[in-house]
């Protein structure tokens, strides 16, 4: 196993002082499939006295097309998002992979257009993954009002290797007095989602997610927490399928977005899906 | 280079095939991957072997700052060498020639084999004994020699096992990692005359060594690869663990070395950091057991060494990668294998499933240049882009970025000035249409609002079978209210 303190390929970033307002860039997956996680992230930020601006015209960072080998389509979509953040506020993304796309790959897809490239770079510079923002900028520190519980944490590969934030999730959980974090085997290994990979190579994707679910369950933790909705859906939908196939009515591995978990533990009211 | 006792961990039910170039088509790749991932023995053994190798590497780099600076230095050396590649190759040729080494240039596998067969014929060679060389695998050297009536015998223990079994290496450093000691014991009992079954690893290695010892004495020619070729001194550096490399390069009368054109560095001092990070990344060794520096044939008055030394410099698609600034990074590779050891996909399908000489992440980015995209266009898609390969690469090749680039080259509409052979071979009008439509929806806020509203409103119509997703998971269903609806309604 590689060292758990690996800081990612990029130099550690410096963080701004706490702003009066932020933009919230939810990502397409959150908007349509896990909106409650987005809502809980917004509530967390507002509870800290930060005004949250939700640009209505947001859709997607372009990553699905980019990573599938359709850079031109990714570029069109990304270009349509460049105007959404006119004020000089940080942009908060509740997902490591989308944050990584904006922070590191937008500059590449606009490399041959200086004007767009400059605007993309300006957006990238103030884009933060939610967990790193909560820890480093907000200084999240709330009393844990929940019962003692053991959870396990999955960090997305983008958060770990592009955003260098996997220790951030651990630190946030460590600030909850009644939460014990159980580490799982092969923790730094991918859950097997990989966007279109899960559709294009189902055999290998299934093998990977089954191994990940088994490792998470083996900790005996009551639930898995993750700051990335792609991984969250991959892991929990796999666990649900295993429960279904085994005829279990009680979920063997429930999962929550880190935002939902933090909000629920610290006296907040998580959003309901319906 | 091959790790001692590296064969103990693994098992496979993979079928042997003496005449591989197995790749052929995307469909064949799919079938091999399907078989491999559903083979519980293979899964268990590769998991164990890769865990072992990852732990060994990690133990070599306790100090992250040291690793970081060594990676930066190594990347710098490789990039500098490539930036001067044409000059350095000429300098290498001049200095090797001055040292008495005969230098040959080969554009592809056929040319390389023809050159080496010519040398063999000139010496009326019957037997060639080989040190471990992935480039010789790349050009299917053994088959070419066999067809010409020359025996080519592998002397690296792992390669020897693979050759006995009629298979291909499943790992670039540990070629027989897919075989258990029991499988090797059976193989030896069947194929090595006068040997009865034993699964004692030390005994098996002794048996192999005895067979090979005789072959070193009999062979007319020794063949080796090259890890680093030093331009300013005309020196060929060879990293190995078993001493067979030294035997191959010193005992037979003729030594032929073959390497890719990218392996050249300018100065001797460039070798030390690369050598250090190579062995530590590959097998988790601080240093290999043997390090050979070959600077020419036997000189008058010397008691040993070959009478003739040849170097074959092989292109085979490398100059195609070289011509593009981004793709050129592929050639930084020093062939340590760390990317495959850390790859969650390689761990689950093993090396043979890829059907390429170089498996794993490096294989996915280098094979399309060697074999063209017609055969290999699916290969770059077999990755979650998790980044584990790039994270451990000792020379910082941005493997995920290159995979994305190759996906683009494979699927782009074929045009007249392709940067790669087979560009557009994975082009699908349907996929192209789907992504164009996706962009029309997502690049226009009005369209996206309508689309997402419809998806949410009519979520009951979401198909319950969703391509590969629902093979192992419950279906994805849009939420009854989108986040934007929740945000709007909350005040």
| pLDDT tens-digit readout, B89-124 | 999 999 999 999 999 999 999 999 999 999 999 999
| B382 touching chain A per CB within 8 A | yes
Restricting to B residues 384-403, those with a Cβ less than 8 Å away from any Cβ of A are 384-388, 390-392, 396, 401
Q: pLDDT-based confidence at B3, cuts 50/70/90?
A: very low
Q: A65 vs B490: CB contact, 8 Å cut-off?
A: no
Q: What percent of chain B has pLDDT over 90?
A: 90
The H-or-E segment that residue B151 falls in is strand B151-154
| B442 touching chain A per CB within 8 A | yes
Is B229 a member of any domain? yes
- The interface pTM score, or ipTM, of the predicted complex is 0.94
* Tokens matching residue B75: 């990347």
Is B339 a member of any domain? no
DSSP code string of B31-54: HHHHHHHT-HHHHHHHHHHHHHHH
> Residue B164 is part of a domain; what is its CATH number?
3.40.50.10420
**CA A69 to CA A143: how far, in whole Å?**
46
Q: Which of B324, B410, B388 is nearest to B29 (CA)?
A: B410
Sole residue written with tokens 């020419």: B296
Q: What pLDDT score does B4 carry?
A: 40
Is B298 a member of any domain? yes
Q: What pLDDT score does A46 carry?
A: 97
Contact A211, A186 (CB under 8 A): yes
Average pLDDT over all residues of chain A: 94
Is B401 a member of any domain? no
Q: What is the mean pLDDT of residues A41-65?
A: 97
Is B381 a member of any domain? no
Domain range for residue B486?
A: 429-490
Q: pLDDT-based confidence at A6, cuts 50/70/90?
A: very low
Q: What pLDDT score does B88 carry?
A: 98
Question: Using a CB-CB distance cutoff of 8 angstroms, which residues of chain B are in contact with residue A84?
Answer: none
Q: What pLDDT score does A2 carry?
A: 34
* Tokens matching residue B368: 């399309």
Is B168 a member of any domain? yes
Q: Which residue, of B301, B318, B335, is where some domain finishes?
A: B318
**CA B170 to CA B284: how far, in whole Å?**
19
Smallest Cα distance from B468 to chain A, Å: 4
Query: Which of A64, A65, A197 has its CB closest to that of B383?
Result: A197
| B444 touching chain A per CB within 8 A | yes
Asked if pLDDT for residue B17 goes beyond 60, the answer is no
Number of domains comprising chain B: 2
Query: Which of B61, B467, B472 has its CB closest to that of A238?
Result: B472
Is B181 a member of any domain? yes
DSSP code string of A95-159: -HHHHHIIIIIHHHHTTT-HHHHHHHHHHHHTEEEHHHIIIIII-------SPPEEEEEE--HII
Question: Using a CB-CB distance cutoff of 8 angstroms, which residues of chain A are in contact with residue B480?
Answer: 273-274
Contact B12, B45 (CB under 8 A): yes
Which residue does chain A place closest to B50, by CA atoms?
A1
Q: What pLDDT score does A10 carry?
A: 67
Query: Which of A32, A68, A197 has its CB closest to that of B435?
Result: A68
Average pLDDT over all residues of chain B: 93
Restricting to B residues 8-47, those with a Cβ less than 8 Å away from any Cβ of A are 33-34, 37-38, 43
Q: Which residue, of B288, B318, B348, is where some domain finishes?
A: B318
**CA B390 to CA B212: how far, in whole Å?**
38
Sequence-distant (≥ 6) Cβ neighbours of residue B67 within 8 angstroms: B61
Q: Which residue, of B264, B289, B318, is where some domain finishes?
A: B318
Q: What is the mean pLDDT of residues A95-106?
A: 94
pTM above 0.80, yes or no: yes
Is B169 a member of any domain? yes
| B404 touching chain A per CB within 8 A | yes
Sequence-distant (≥ 6) Cβ neighbours of residue A188 within 8 angstroms: A1, A2, A4, A6, A155, A160, A166, B388
CA B359 from centre of chain? 5
Smallest Cα distance from A177 to chain B, Å: 30
Question: Using a CB-CB distance cutoff of 8 angstroms, which residues of chain B are in contact with residue A214?
Answer: none
**CA A89 to CA B242: how far, in whole Å?**
61
Question: Using a CB-CB distance cutoff of 8 angstroms, which residues of chain A are in contact with residue B472?
Answer: 202, 205-206, 209-210, 238, 241
Q: Are residues B121 and B254 in the same domain?
A: yes
């Amino acid at each position: 196993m590689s060292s758990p303190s690996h800081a990612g390929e990029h130099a550690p970033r410096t963080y701004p002082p706490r702003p009066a307002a932020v933009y919230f860039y939810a990502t397409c997956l959150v908007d349509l499939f896990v909106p409650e996680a987005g809502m809980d992230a917004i509530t967390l930020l507002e509870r800290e006295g930060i005004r949250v601006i939700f640009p209505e015209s947001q859709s997607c960072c372009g990553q699905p097309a980019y990573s599938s080998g359709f850079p031109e389509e990714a570029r069109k979509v990304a270009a349509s998002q460049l105007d959404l953040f006119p004020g000089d506020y940080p942009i908060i993304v509740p997902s490591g992979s989308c944050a990584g796309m904006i922070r590191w790959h937008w500059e590449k897809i606009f490399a041959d257009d200086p004007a767009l490239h400059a605007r993309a770079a300006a957006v990238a510079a103030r884009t933060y993954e939610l967990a790193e923002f909560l820890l480093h900028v907000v200084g999240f520190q709330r009393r844990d009002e929940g019962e003692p519980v053991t959870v396990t944490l999955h960090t997305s590969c983008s958060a770990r290797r592009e955003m260098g934030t996997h220790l951030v999730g651990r630190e946030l959980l460590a600030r909850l007095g009644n939460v014990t974090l159980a580490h799982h085997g092969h923790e730094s290994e991918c859950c097997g989602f990989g966007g279109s990979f899960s559709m294009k190579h189902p055999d290998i994707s299934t093998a990977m997610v089954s191994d990940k679910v088994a490792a998470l369950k083996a900790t005996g933790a009551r639930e898995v927490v993750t700051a990335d909705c792609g991984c969250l859906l991959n892991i929990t939908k796999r666990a649900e399928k295993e429960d279904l196939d085994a005829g279990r009515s009680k979920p063997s591995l429930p999962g929550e977005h880190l935002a939902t978990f933090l909000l629920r533990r610290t006296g907040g009211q998580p959003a309901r899906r319906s | 280079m091959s790790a001692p006792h590296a064969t103990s961990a693994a098992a496979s039910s993979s079928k042997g095939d003496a005449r591989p170039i197995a790749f052929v088509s995307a469909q064949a790749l799919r079938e091999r991957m399907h078989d491999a991932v559903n083979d519980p023995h293979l899964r268990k053994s590769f998991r164990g072997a890769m865990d072992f190798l990852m732990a060994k590497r990690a133990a070599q780099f306790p100090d992250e700052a040291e690793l970081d600076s060594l990676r930066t230095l190594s990347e710098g050396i490789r990039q500098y060498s490539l930036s001067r590649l044409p000059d350095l190759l000429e300098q290498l040729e001049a200095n090797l020639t001055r040292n008495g080494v005969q230098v040959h240039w080969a554009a592809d596998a056929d040319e390389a084999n023809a050159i080496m067969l010519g040398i063999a014929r000139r010496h009326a060679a019957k037997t060639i004994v080989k040190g471990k060389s992935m480039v010789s695998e790349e050009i299917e050297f053994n088959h070419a020699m066999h067809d010409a009536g020359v025996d080519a015998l592998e002397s690296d223990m792992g390669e020897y096992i693979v050759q006995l079994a009629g298979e291909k290496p499943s790992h670039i450093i540990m070629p027989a990692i897919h075989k258990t000691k029991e499988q090797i014991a059976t193989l030896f009992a069947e194929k090595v005359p006068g040997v009865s079954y034993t699964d004692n690893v030390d005994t098996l290695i002794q048996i192999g060594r005895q067979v090979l010892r005789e072959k070193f004495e009999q062979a007319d020619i020794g063949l080796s690869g090259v890890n680093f070729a030093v331009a300013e001194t005309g020196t060929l550096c060879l990293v190995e663990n078993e001493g067979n490399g030294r035997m191959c390069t010193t005992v037979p009368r003729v030594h032929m070395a073959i390497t890719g054109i990218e392996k050249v560095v300018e100065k001797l001092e460039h070798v030390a950091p690369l050598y250090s990070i190579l062995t530590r990344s590959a097998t988790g060794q601080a240093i290999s057991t043997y390090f050979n520096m070959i600077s020419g044939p036997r000189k008058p008055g010397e008691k040993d060494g070959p009478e003739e030394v040849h170097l074959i410099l092989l292109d085979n698609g490398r100059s195609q990668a070289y011509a593009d600034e981004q793709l050129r990074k592929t050639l930084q590779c020093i062939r340590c294998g760390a990317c495959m050891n850390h790859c969650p996909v390689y761990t689950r399908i093993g090396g043979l499933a890829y059907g390429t000489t170089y498996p794993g992440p490096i294989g996915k980015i280098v094979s399309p240049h060697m074999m063209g995209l017609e055969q290999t266009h699916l290969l770059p898609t077999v990755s979650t882009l998790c980044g584990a390969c790039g994270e451990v690469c000792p020379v910082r090749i941005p493997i995920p970025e290159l995979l994305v680039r190759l996906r683009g080259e494979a699927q782009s509409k074929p045009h007249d000035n392709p940067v790669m052979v087979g560009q557009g071979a994975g082009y699908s009008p349907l996929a192209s249409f789907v992504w164009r439509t996706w962009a029309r929806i997502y690049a226009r806020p009005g369209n996206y609002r309508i689309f997402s509203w419809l998806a949410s409103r009519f979520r009951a119509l979401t198909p319950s079978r969703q391509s590969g997703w629902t093979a192992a998971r419950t279906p994805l269903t849009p939420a009854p209210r989108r986040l934007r609806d929740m945000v709007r309604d909350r005040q």
